[in-house]
């Protein structure tokens, strides 16, 4: 394909992806009550554990609309993701050789699995327990939380996205070994350094309480070990070839 044909193909794929995203976002807006309840569940769980009212508040008129649009856009992206991914793959595959296509597909399904696993971990473990312990600090000294729903939605979406991305750690490790940038021995020797970095990353990406940081760090340490096992398997596979 010529350069102009590549740009035309990219324009076509972007147009289709935006069309699917827009349609899915509109559909999510029509069922926004369901998605609002889904987003509020971690807060309601934490509030119930502390015997606190689960009410959330908005402090500006525009926050009613902005918070709902954030949720609907995220829901729309998730609903349209298979179609968006298909459009992206159609564009990328047009410029790849057969061996490169096989390599891409070998990473595709592990990427999706780890991302979904990270999102589920954030939703069911990290976010509700993190909110519980953050609220607990105030309850112990008699403070009554008044949660700004717009801020809550922003934090919720960030933590869900972070959970999905950081769970890609084993895949990143295997990729670095595959391209020869690092080796299995490098990951083994630098295990202590890696654990320290994981603890620092957990502290940066999560709310500022030690318990939530540990909730994020422990599975990442486990995933680091899974990554080492994956790198060993890759090395054996290369040896067989």
Average pLDDT of span 163-167: 93
Nearest C-alpha neighbor of 144 from the set 45, 76, 34, 57: 57
DSSP string covering the chain, please? --HHHHHHHHHHHHHHHHHHHHHHHHHHHHTHHHHHHHHHHHHHHHHHHTT-----B--SHHHHHHHHHHHHHHHHHHHHHHHHHHHHHHHHHTT--HHHHHHHHHHHHHHHHHHHHHHHHIIIIIHHHHHHHHHHHHHTTT-----BHHHHHHHHHHHHHHHHHHTTHHHHHHHHHHTTSS-HHHHHHTHHHHHHHHHHHHHHHS-S-HHHHHHHHHHHHHHHHHHHHHHHHHHHHHHH-
Higher-scoring residue by pLDDT: 236, 23: 23
Whole-number pLDDT of residue 18: 96
Give the chain's radius of gyration (CA, Å).
21
Task: Domain count for the chain, please give it.
Answer: 1
Whole-number pLDDT of residue 30: 96
Whole-number pLDDT of residue 51: 92
Contact 133, 209 (CB under 8 A): yes
144: left (phi over 0), alpha (psi -120 to 50) or beta: beta
pLDDT in tens, 110-127: 999 999 999 999 999 999
Average pLDDT of span 58-80: 93
Contacts of 169 (CB under 8 A, 6+ apart): 220, 223, 224, 227
180: left (phi over 0), alpha (psi -120 to 50) or beta: left
Whole-number pLDDT of residue 239: 59
Average pLDDT of span 56-82: 93
Segments forming the whole domain that contains residue 212: 3-240
């Amino acid at each position: 394909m010529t350069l102009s044909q590549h740009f035309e193909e990219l324009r076509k794929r972007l147009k289709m992806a935006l069309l699917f995203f827009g349609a899915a976002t509109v559909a999510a807006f029509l069922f926004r009550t369901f998605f609002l309840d889904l987003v509020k569940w971690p807060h309601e769980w934490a509030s119930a554990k502390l015997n606190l009212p689960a009410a959330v508040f908005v402090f500006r008129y525009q926050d009613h609309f902005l918070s709902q649009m954030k949720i609907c856009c995220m829901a729309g992206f998730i609903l349209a993701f298979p179609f968006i991914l298909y459009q992206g793959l159609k564009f990328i595959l047009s410029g790849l050789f057969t061996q490169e296509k096989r390599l891409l597909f070998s990473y595709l399904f592990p990427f999706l699995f780890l991302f979904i696993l990270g999102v589920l971990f954030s939703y069911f473990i990290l976010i509700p327990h993190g909110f519980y312990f953050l609220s607990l600090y105030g309850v112990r000294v008699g403070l009554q939380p008044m949660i700004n729903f717009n801020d809550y939605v922003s934090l919720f979406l960030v933590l869900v996205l972070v959970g999905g991305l950081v769970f890609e750690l084993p895949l990143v490790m295997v990729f670095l070994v595959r391209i020869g940038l690092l080796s299995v021995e490098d990951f083994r020797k630098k295990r202590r350094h890696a654990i320290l970095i994981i603890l620092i990353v957990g502290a940066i990406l999560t709310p500022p309480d030690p318990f939530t940081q540990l909730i994020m760090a422990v599975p990442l340490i486990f995933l680091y070990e899974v990554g080492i096992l994956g790198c060993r398997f890759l090395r054996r596979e290369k040896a067989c070839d």
